[in-house]
Amino acid sequence: MSRLDATSLLSPSPTPPHKPTTPRRLICVVSSTLAALGAALSLLLLVVHSAPAPNYGSLFLSLASNDTAALHLRALTLHPHVAGTRANSLTAAYVRDAFSSLSIPAHITPYSVLLSYPIERSLSLTVPGRATTTSFALSQETYPNDPYASATAEVMRTFYAYAASGSVSAEAVYANYGREEDFAYLASRGIDVAGKVAVARYGRIHCEDIVHNARVAGAAAAVVYTDPLQYGGAPGEAWFPDSRWLPPTGVQVGSLFRGVGDPTTPLWASSEGCERVSVEEAMATDDMPGIPALPVSARDAAEIHAALGGDAAPVDWQGREGSPVYRLGPGPAILNLTYTGNDTMATIENVFAVIEGAEEPDRSQQRNGSYDRGWRPRRTIIFCSWDAEEYGLTGSTEWVEENREMLSSRAVAYLNVDVSVVGPVQDPDNSSQTVYDSWVKSNISPLIGRLGDGGSDFSAFVQHVGPGYPVYHSLYDDFVWMEKFGDPGFRRHAAVLSLQHDERHFLFAAASIWGMMALKLADEEILPFNYMSYPVELEAYTKVVENEVRGTVISCSPLHNAIRALKKATTKVNGERKELLRQLSSNQLRKDSMKIRTLNDRLMQAERAFTNREGLFKQEWFKHLVYGPSEQNDWESASYPGVDNAIVSARKDNTTESWKFVQHEIHRVARAITQASVVVVQH
């Protein structure tokens, strides 16, 4: 994709359910909550700026406020607000009202979706020969002088959304990170997981994939914990609130749904009166965990490990220095796990705010109210706050499914704020250099990565905070942690930072970087998309595929041929873009020229050519054939994901037909690349 931002042009993009007077085709869409509030204030000041046309980029950078980010974060984290609850509805209203207070039209769009809440859960440990049973409290302890202590009673009990209800009493087996290769290792050692309780730790893949792999291996239930190796710091080091590390009773909760959106409306939107599958049918799909599962703390897991027998686990399966030896089992530890969930329909609420644009810049001053006094973007900017992100990207997915055709023809870009750097923004940790300087010195490409890269959501600026985010999705993921350890003084929020809190997708970014990207996309006459790096990256991905299929009859020639054609096409369109920019700068070309409109249309549509309505092999909802989530780990990106899925299947089946299907997937990708070449150069 174009190397301006970390996004796909077909990523979820919001717009109001009613139709405002927006430009016919071009929409610049940005997603966040607190980031949007801060940036929107700065953008509003540009809107009402009455001075002669200034350098709006410089003016914008001067308007960012750390205090605004801190103010909204404090307000939004005073109480827990899980999706579908009254508290979350109040949160949505707060965000809407905050936008409205800036004179930016804002509204809420609700959807009825299947969510999941805990009713009852328990976990106990018994060991043959021991007279006593250890019953785990399954609670996270507060700390002295916790300013949020009064809200602790409102916190939902630790659980996994969509976990199957049931009771299991069986021997425990240690499964390391719960990856496919971890269960394969256990099988190679003759350790049968069938009917057992798999005990795994976070650290490599997310909970939904851990529990899925446990079920596939035959486990009757799963327990997942946060190991001090990743989340507890060095031996003897303090934990929150005295340091950034997760306390021993901390528990990371999450969702076990491996799909996206509302489970009762697969592939279509949860609009009013729509077709739905039943809750029972939705819960019976392969995307659901199918077994009971619970998240537990490091303290509880330590007791389980102490009771496990069998051979010692491999070195890379062990805990941090000084920890007891981890053993594989099975048994003699027996875990008695009970979980009863309430899988029910509930209302979620997306929030949207719109700064309307004008397709022709000479019309941008002809609106009423404060909008007719100063700057107005060439293209519409839409801010959004997605609800129920943690349940399965539910809010964004439902809106996109409801507006798919409109987005295909009108959306220019979608900005996710996790990683995005444009312009000379001062590094808050080193006043002698810009964020860009720090970015490059960190051995990261100076180009902003594309959405979906493994770890790209946090890769650049997590390095300012430190490796990992140890209190993620726990009781301690709050304002105090951010204020003390994440970003004291909220200086980094004026550069860029991402944070997820509770069940509404709160992605922070500072107005500076994130807003500058929005300004470029919304205001430049020619879209700032550069596809020149695409062929180079595709060649690199193709070499990976060649290594994967070495020794088979599979040929990657179709990919190489298609990439060569794309390289010629991108070179041609880049030259055309430079020439039009030259003509614009020398006043040889009007800003409303059809040449500009035609080029922008091609730049906008090029990325769409990489999509396919049939979707990825084994992941039909995902349509992009070049980038997408890995089928083995949906929090990790794969290049040519359909080809990758086909190779994994062929290795398991090892039949002529399965390898023939790999070749078919390669041809599918090659056709998409060829189509992109045609789109980008056609007139």
Strand, coil or helix: what is 147? coil
d(CA 90, CA 92): 5
- The residues annotated as belonging to the active site are 389
For helices 86-100 and 34-47, what crossing angle results, to 10°? 20
The token duo for 517 is 């990207």
User: Which position has the token pair 């500072």?
Assistant: 510
Strand, coil or helix: what is 600? helix
**Exposure class string for 347-359: b at 16+ Cβ within 10 A, else e:** bbbbbbbbbbbbb
Beta strands in 586-658 (DSSP E): 627-629, 637-639
Q: Are 64 and 425 in contact (CB under 8 A)?
A: no
Supply φ then ψ for residue 108, to 5 degrees. -115, 135
| Residue of 442, 225, 193 whose CA lies nearest to 310 | 193
Beta strands in 518-583 (DSSP E): none
User: Which position has the token pair 């042009």?
Assistant: 9
The token duo for 418 is 């996790």
Q: Parallel, antiparallel, or unpaired for β 380-385 and 134-135? A: unpaired
Q: Parallel, antiparallel, or unpaired for β 426-427 and 430-434? A: antiparallel
| Residue of 582, 588, 636 whose CA lies nearest to 453 | 636
The token duo for 401 is 């499914």
Q: Parallel, antiparallel, or unpaired for β 254-255 and 221-225? A: unpaired
Alpha carbon separation from 648 to 204, 287, 321, 385, 644 (Å, rounded): 19, 18, 35, 36, 6
User: Which position has the token pair 């009202």?
Assistant: 97
Amino acid at the residue 317: W
Q: Parallel, antiparallel, or unpaired for β 411-416 and 380-385? A: unpaired
d(CA 209, CA 136): 24
Alpha helix positions (H), 85-155: 86-100
Task: Give residue 498's Cα distance to chain centre.
Answer: 11
Q: Are 39 and 469 in contact (CB under 8 A)?
A: no
Supply φ then ψ for residue 605, to 5 degrees. -85, -15
